[in-house]
Amino acid sequence: MRLTRYFLPVLKENPSEAQIVSHRLMLRAGMIKQASAGIYSWLPLGFKVLRKLENIVHQEQARAGHIAIQMPVMQSADLWRESGRYDDYGQEMLRMKDRHDRDLLFTPTAEELVTDIFRGHVSSYKDLPLTLYQIQWKFRDEIRPRFGVMRGREFLMKDGYNFDLTKEDALHAYNRHLVSYLRTYERMGLQAIPMRADSGPIGGDDTHEFLVLAETGESEVFYDSAVTDIRMGERDIDYDDKAQCQAVMEEFTTLYARTDETHDAALFDQVPEERRRVARGIEVGQIFYFGTKYSEPMGATVQGPDGKPVPVHMGSHGIGVSRLIGAIIEASHDENGIIWPEGVTPFHCGIVNLKQGDEAADGACETIYKALTAIGLEPLYDDRKERAGGKFATMDLIGLPWRITVGPRGLKNGVVELTSRRTGESVEMTPEDAVKKIAEIYAPHHGGAAQHVEPMANRSFHTWI
Ligand code: P5A
């Protein structure tokens, strides 16, 4: 993309309404624009990151054997009356009437609707296990929408629902989700710690929230610092292997890690004192096992092996996709702007032309731009007639992890400069080597953060559905 043809409405001033750094930077980098309280338009740069996150979610869901669907945002209240939640859900649910005076609502979650799909089409245990998921906008009329996309009223959620014959199978689905979520967050450059939590209006006894530690997080968390040393990494996972998924679940959830909702001071005291931590975290996902809470009242049964109908065991599993962008920025920025992890960056690399209009500089930029594009990467070429300082400031603000700087002086010696946004280090090299280096960074299985950027990450998520 050439910046002169793009729509990147960056702000020079700090917007006064933003209280936390991710909100401020998202507004300043022209990623979002508030439409009304807790409701945002996604401008090109923000939308691109959102799509990248969706793509990672789809890939990891496909790996775990889960199947994508899309359910409507408008739902009939009748289904919610069947489960009993229409009255229970409270003021967070946005309710409406259609022209026939029927009660409608904007989906805050979709347990009822997916259970209705299931009961209409599945009748035998032989069709299980089944996990359906979607990535869809949700609406919750939060009493205090704030911090930009962190606590929106309209927000993008990945929501998945498992249907299993037995509790044991459903707990395997729970573990499978835990493992796939850990992989998902790590690919986004985040450490999200599973913590025992409270189930709230979704229901059930077994639930973990995934928390990214951050001072600006809304949840108070208590944990054993040893949990922060555990990583999924690149280990091979067989998602059908119950014992393996269970082992990962135990590895990640045995040490003390709880939100304030379930915090147990006596248990926490048993953690060695030097490892006890009280901090704040951003909840970027939650998984639930709630058994037959929805299947029983809604008659979602299958014929078991003995021919008798049994209600299916269910759970639901959510990732806050739009909130994740805020969490990534909270975890990865400096005083000049965002620093995108390679796995989610909106453009792979920036190209800064120090002297637009200079024949050699323009030519070299074009060559680099075309070479990167030809290997399937997306560079953002700042081809504006601006002074260098302004171009650098924009690049730093929008946070592309790599920048190639091209100027007539360097070109006289046959070199351009490759700069890491994270470390600020610059190395001079030929334009060809700069392209080669960027290609290597984003090549599959290269190691480091870049190992997560597989060729398929560049494809549309439609390939994975
Ligand atoms: C699980 C999927 C559920 O709704 N039903 C379907 C279950 N869980 S949840 O924990 O309530 O939400 C899942 C994730 O969505 C994000 N989230 C939000 N993001 C932005 N703004 C909000 N107002 C908001 N509310 C929830 C969180 O990341 C949460 O973990």
Give the distance (Å) from ligand 1 centre to CA of residue 192. 15
Give the distance (Å) from ligand 1 centre to CA of residue 157. 7
What one-letter code names the amino acid at 271?
V
Give the residue among 320, 324, 302 at the shortest CA–CA distance from 311.
Answer: 302
Structure tokens at 292: 């037959």
Fold of 17-334: BirA Bifunctional Protein; domain 2 (3.30.930)
Ligand 1 atom nearest residue 282's Cα: 28
The Cα angle at residue 27 between residues 325 and 213, in degrees rounded to 5: 35
Give the residue among 112, 190, 57, 28 at the shortest CA–CA distance from 457.
Answer: 57
Tell me: pLDDT of 451 over 90. no
Ligand 1 atom nearest residue 158's Cα: 2
Q: How confident is the model at residue 203 (pLDDT cuts 50, 70, 90)?
A: confident
Average pLDDT over all residues of the chain: 94
Give the distance (Å) from ligand 1 centre to CA of residue 355. 47
Chain-centre distance of CA 427, in angstroms? 32
What one-letter code names the amino acid at 342?
E
Q: Find the residues whose C-beta lies inside 6 A of ligand 1.
A: 109, 140, 142, 151-152, 155, 157, 159, 202, 283-286, 316-318, 320, 322-323
Tell me: pLDDT of 448 over 70. no
Residue nearest (by alpha carbon) to ligand 1 atom 24: 151
**Is the separation of the CB atoms in 152 and 36 below 8 Å?**
no
Q: What is the pLDDT of residues 90-118, one digit of tens each?
A: 999 999 999 999 999 999 999 999 999 99
The predicted pLDDT at position 418 comes to 98
Question: What are the residue ranges of CATH 3.30.930.10 in the chain?
Answer: 17-334
**Is the separation of the CB atoms in 332 and 339 below 8 Å?**
yes
> Which of 57, 323, 324 should be mutated for ligand 1, with most atoms under 8 A from CB?
323
Residue nearest (by alpha carbon) to ligand 1 atom 20: 151
Give the distance (Å) from ligand 1 centre to CA of residue 277. 25
Taking the CA atoms of 300, 302, 307 and 313 in sequence, report the sign of the dihedral they define: negative
The burial class, CB within 10 Å (0-12 / 13-18 / 19+), for 305 is: exposed
The predicted pLDDT at position 461 comes to 45
The Cα angle at residue 207 between residues 209 and 313, in degrees rounded to 5: 140
> Which of 66, 109, 138, 286 should be mutated for ligand 1, with most atoms under 8 A from CB?
286
**Is the separation of the CB atoms in 1 and 380 below 8 Å?**
yes
Residues above pLDDT 70, as percent of the chain:
95
Q: What is the pLDDT of residues 131-154, one digit of tens each?
A: 999 999 999 999 999 999 999 999
Residue nearest (by alpha carbon) to ligand 1 atom 29: 285
**CATH architecture, range 349-464:** 3-Layer(aba) Sandwich (3.40)
Q: Which residues of 368-395 are buried (b: 16+ CB within 10 A; e: fewer)?
A: bbebbeeeebebbbbbeebeeeebbbbb
Question: What are the residue ranges of CATH 3.40.50.800 in the chain?
Answer: 349-464
Give the distance (Å) from ligand 1 centre to CA of residue 9. 29
